[in-house]
Amino acid sequence: MGIATCISIRRILSGTAIVLSLAGLTFAAQGKSLATVSIATTPEQYAVQPLPLTAGQCAQCHTAPFQGLKERGGKHQFACQNCHNIFHAYSPRKNNYDSIMPKCESCHAAPHGAKISDCIACHSNPHTPRKIAASSQIITYCYDCHGSIRKQLDTYPSKHTKVACAACHTSHGFKPSCFTCHSKPHLAGQTVAQCLQCHPVHQPRSIVIPDKTPTNVCNSCHSAIVTKLTKGTSKHASLTCVTCHKGKHRVIPQCTDCHGKPHKASFHAKVPRCLDCHVDVHDLPMMK
């Protein structure tokens, strides 16, 4: 073998070595066999059994559901895992949201009967189950649950009978102020609680007057009579209206309810009607 041949072979072998070396580096860079960094393993951290997350820990990511449960969760204020047993499995590509979400019927067995079965139509947010909008669905079925209210409205007709439920109750369970519609109360500073003492909401004309109702309440409608009474000089002037007009509104008592029959029987037989002599109970004529 000549010198030229030896030199050629050495060049070929050197070139092959360089190519092989470059190929090894490329292989390592692709992570096929050699790591590009060195990280110490800590297998001891995987030796524990993880505990279920608390509601507060879930809330670090799921703030809105947590806040809803905190403020208006009702009977749904329990551990998240009582409903959710599949976590972080949603995939837009699979469109699997409905399949991984808990189902109402897993806990609730048709609480409103077979007729009302679309839970989400009313309870749109399970984290605020009692926050229910006055949707077309719920308006349709108001009286399926609130039949006694329908009976009151029909039995005791008033302007309230002609008003749709949602006109006042803009969401389920919401109770509006009387003054939303009735802007002129009987008294300055009157409260809703005072309104309800006399006027039942769904039968407002069935007025029941509490025993301690002050005369100035009556005065807002019956001012002429109250003025006559308070300016009188008889013992009636010191009485409140409800001393005689007890219970239901517009009840007219009999004189004998308080006074019995003060005169002789023969006189009462001759003059059976007290007001033939006493004229006006709110302004009794007095003997001088």
Angle at 123 between CA 122 and CA 129, to 5 degrees: 145
DSSP symbol at 81: G
Q: Please give the average per-residue pLDDT across 179-191, as a whole number.
A: 89
Residue 282, domain member (yes or no): yes
Please tell me whether residues 66 and 93 are part of one structural domain. Answer: yes
Indicate whether 267 pLDDT > 90. Answer: yes
- The string of pLDDT tens digits covering residues 47-76 is 999 898 999 999 999 999 999 999 999 999
Q: How many domains does the chain have?
A: 3
Same domain assignment for residues 186 and 254: no
What distance in Å separates the CA atoms of residue 72 and residue 231, rounded to the nearest whole number? 55
Domain that holds residue 256: 210-288
Q: Is 235 left (phi over 0), alpha (psi -120 to 50) or beta?
A: alpha
Are 288 and 249 found together in one domain? yes
Q: Is residue 4 part of a domain?
A: no
Same domain, 83 and 153: no
Residue 177 lies in a domain: yes
Give the residue from 190, 206, 222 where a domain finishes: 206
Could you tell me if 190 and 219 lie in one domain?
no
Give the per-residue pLDDT at 271: 92
Q: Tens digits of per-residue pLDDT, 83-96?
A: 999 999 999 999 99
| Stretch (H or E) spanning 109 | none
Residue 285's pLDDT band, with cuts at 50, 70 and 90, is: confident
Q: Does residue 251 share a domain with residue 190?
A: no
Taking the C-alpha atoms of residue 160 and residue 153, their distance in angstroms, rounded to an integer, is 7
**Residues 127, 94 share a domain:** yes
> Which residues, 6 or more positions from 282, have their beta carbon under 8 angstroms from its beta carbon?
225, 228, 229, 232, 236
Determine which helix (DSSP H) or strand (DSSP E) holds 235, and give its type and residue range: none
Same domain as 222, residue 261: yes
Query: Could you tell me which residues come within 8 angstroms of residue 125 by beta carbon, excluding any fewer than 6 positions away?
Result: 68, 131
